[in-house]
Structure 1
């Protein structure tokens, strides 16, 4: 049995014991955490999670490492609530959903196109029935990215080591930065915010698709906002669970392309892990939909040949560009007429 499956078994045993202890107790910190959504006339997808925890405190300027570690631990130590009945409404459409064993939910809706306001449509997620004696109204807003008709193309970008300096290949450094950093102190790659704003041009949608856990959604959203990257949906995953939270990265990319069939896309990632293979597979699965692929070079050994082997035999229909920095992306994208 793999290490992930062992950890998954332990987590499920812990969750089962926690739920037995809770019994029918009324959740004291019931919270619907909405991850937002995206869509078009083809349909809308909304994701989120329901937990029994107060929200982690926001980062503050000048805080120490101990405060940062405590806040980050709060992101991961959660009391998720399974079996919660919810109603999700966007535009003139509403659907019911129930949270899975990890507290996640995903809803697919089909509102009338004239009820979807671009670039952001609004809706709600609310408790739709009795749950462990909760009283009162429990409702949160949801915002759904709806590309405007004027959009020329879309952008799909990884996060770690693509816009956010993480050092995934240096595990110790990555863990230290994740635990002790905050949305205010973590740094983007030089020139990345400006590049992404220019690619977005105020109208082109940007989708941040990462293998980072959903637990980091609020942190990564705050980082994107604080560093002035273009606003856009963050599509992450559950590292251990299954069903609503654990779609593979390729499935999330396919979802974006399926829900936005009128757009072609620019893909941005890094050479540290699986982005080269993932993006090549995307080009093959979606002929004619990808304008360019940019991979930031972050390998410890840039001459290991791994990226080059993945790209061999792809032809010249779609530019596959290995870049050293944001300026290299800018130069090439300008040559293609994207900027």
Structure 2
């Protein structure tokens, strides 16, 4: 289905015409060969470098959980480091995107394109380590980052209560910018939780149309699906405000600041999980959203399950991508973990091939072996309220 969508949507042609922003490791004070070799070692890099005032640092929000072996609180910390001065001539890239989405030269929207484009053109800085002041209580060392400049570290944390949201800040020199503040939500092993797709499930993205993706990503104001913010507020209230939310998207990590601001404005606080395979690659934005999404989402849900295997999960997705297949697979893999699945039947955009994606036979196949009272296809969020109330009422 992914291949047919890309063929009908002319994705390959659009990707081939996008500006060629190659993966670019920023200039270093060491030999480029040494830097390149050490970046393959990731966290085992023996010569990590400190963040400077010319760098951009991102700290991603996360969820703390209890270790199954020690019962201690811990969490996975994700950090990324870039060079503020990318060296890429952004104006040419802006003009190219503007032309593709039908914006004339000098249009005010070009400023929006440039702002949102920066995370795609900043050079990455592998091998950097980042210090974090956690809750003004202790210092946590992260990194060094790997070849893609991203570090992933699981760290033991101090005691807090279920549902507490703890703020931390990167300890960096003056001049460093980026996502320097992060939040950690504490989640006990039991209760309910939510795993939600973003694109065309709770945010208008038009993932079946390459030009639609470019426009919604770089030009249009981020817009929630009508009625979904209210539904999520209701879900949070019914399953308790302390329940963890995971926003699992096939969008690349380049969009983290953009999506984080959108979610903060319209939806409950949660951990955003994105793909990390396309730094400095505009065509990767399109391919990430349309290729291998089922395997990627199942892999990330495996990780969420390893953190919170006893939670009762509500999964929300849509019919434009492989959410039905991914949720069906994860239901069968972990019996009893997923309690409700909601698939938004997308009918309000002119998506190529959407009729095929909305066929009842597609959903029946995706949810083979899943009880009919677990999975639900809806067009309007109002259809979901009573189903949620009944499910939570049966198993509070």
TM-score, normalised by the number of residues in structure 2: 0.67
Structure 2: where are the runs of 5+ without partners?
1-11, 33-50, 68-73, 87-106, 280-287, 289-294, 347-352
**C-alpha displacement at 1:124, in angstroms?**
4.7
**Counterparts of 2:345 and 2:24, CA distance in 1:** 40
Residue aligning to 1:326: 381
**C-alpha displacement at 1:20, in angstroms?**
6.5
Residue aligning to 2:114: 70
**Quick one: structure 1 residues 194 and 15, their matched pair in 2 at CA, closer, same or farther if it must change by over 3 Å?**
same
Contact 1:99 1:105 (8 Å CA) reproduced: yes
**C-alpha displacement at 1:93, in angstroms?**
8.1
**Counterparts of 1:96 and 1:187, CA distance in 2:** 34
Structure 1: where are the runs of 5+ without partners?
56-62, 128-133
Residue aligning to 1:251: 299
Asked if 1:279 corresponds to 2:317, the answer is no
**C-alpha displacement at 1:199, in angstroms?**
0.7
SS in structure 1 at match of 2:267: coil
Q: Which moved more, 1:256-265 or 1:271-280?
A: 256-265
**C-alpha displacement at 1:329, in angstroms?**
1.8
SS in structure 1 at match of 2:152: strand
What count of residue pairs does the alignment treat as equivalent? 306
Contact 1:157 1:207 (8 Å CA) reproduced: yes
Q: Which moved more, 1:172-181 or 1:212-221?
A: 172-181
Instruction: Give the counterpart of 2:243 among 201, 204, 220.
Output: 204
Q: Tell me the C-alpha RMSD between the 2 structures.
A: 3.5
The structure with higher relative contact order (CA 8 Å, sep 6+) is 2
SS in structure 1 at match of 2:311: coil
CA deviations 1:46-99 (Å, max 9, x no partner) are: 1121112289xxxxxxx9311111112113111211011234565768454211
Asked if 1:236 corresponds to 2:236, the answer is no
**C-alpha displacement at 1:304, in angstroms?**
7.3
Instruction: Give the counterpart of 2:229 among 193, 196, 199.
Output: 193
**C-alpha displacement at 1:37, in angstroms?**
1.3
Q: Which moved more, 1:327-336 or 1:260-269?
A: 327-336
Residue aligning to 2:354: 300
Asked if 1:167 corresponds to 2:206, the answer is yes
**Counterparts of 1:168 and 1:135, CA distance in 2:** 39
Residue aligning to 2:9: none
Instruction: Give the counterpart of 1:35 among 51, 56, 60.
Output: 60
Residue aligning to 1:51: 82
**Counterparts of 2:234 and 2:245, CA distance in 1:** 11
**Counterparts of 2:235 and 2:200, CA distance in 1:** 19
CA deviations 1:120-151 (Å, max 9, x no partner) are: 13445446xxxxxx8999994432121268x7
**Quick one: structure 1 residues 304 and 54, their matched pair in 2 at CA, closer, same or farther if it must change by over 3 Å?**
farther
Instruction: Give the counterpart of 1:15 among 4, 19, 24.
Output: 24
SS in structure 2 at match of 1:305: helix
Instruction: Give the counterpart of 1:177 among 216, 240, 251.
Output: 216
Contact 2:315 2:338 (8 Å CA) reproduced: yes
Contact 1:293 1:318 (8 Å CA) reproduced: no
TM-score, normalised by the number of residues in structure 1: 0.78
Residue aligning to 1:120: 165
**Counterparts of 1:11 and 1:194, CA distance in 2:** 39
**Counterparts of 1:122 and 1:291, CA distance in 2:** 31
**Counterparts of 2:334 and 2:245, CA distance in 1:** 18
**Quick one: structure 1 residues 117 and 310, their matched pair in 2 at CA, closer, same or farther if it must change by over 3 Å?**
closer
CA deviations 1:237-265 (Å, max 9, x no partner) are: 12337xxxx99322322222221234211
**C-alpha displacement at 1:311, in angstroms?**
1.8
Contact 1:27 1:52 (8 Å CA) reproduced: no
Asked if 1:143 corresponds to 2:168, the answer is no
Mapping 1:79-118, distance limit 5 Å: 79-88=123-132, 90=134, 94-112=140-158, 114-115=159-160, 118=163
**Quick one: structure 1 residues 175 and 140, their matched pair in 2 at CA, closer, same or farther if it must change by over 3 Å?**
closer
